[in-house]
Amino acid sequence: MAKLYKSTVHLNHWIASVPGLGWFMFPARENGWEERKPARGLDPLYLREVPAKLGENAGFSQYGHTPGQERSSMEAVTV
């Protein structure tokens, strides 16, 4: 499952860890996820995990699950 973080260094950005894709930084504003960039050199000392729901306005909510989870739930519905 994807995780969302707030950084004490990058105050106007969200930091996200998406399994299979890596770490991203994106603006903490509406549709900010569309402007995401790979995040490198982050110091975990300055990151705090926050509920993924906080990034919904930035477009992060659609990435709050992995594709494998989505497929397995679809199979459960169609079977």
Segments forming the whole domain that contains residue 65: 3-78
Q: 25 in helix, strand or coil?
A: strand
Number of domains in the chain: 1
The tokens for 66 are 């992995």
pLDDT tens readout for residues 23-67:
999 999 999 999 999 999 999 999 999 999 999 999 996 555 433
pTM of the model: 0.75
Cross-strand pairs, 14: 6, 26
CA distances from 48 to 42, 60, 66 (A): 12, 17, 21
Task: Write down the pLDDT at residue 63.
Answer: 52
From the number of C-beta atoms within 10 Å of its C-beta (0-12, 13-18, 19+), residue 78 rates as exposed
CB atoms within 10 A of CB 40: 8
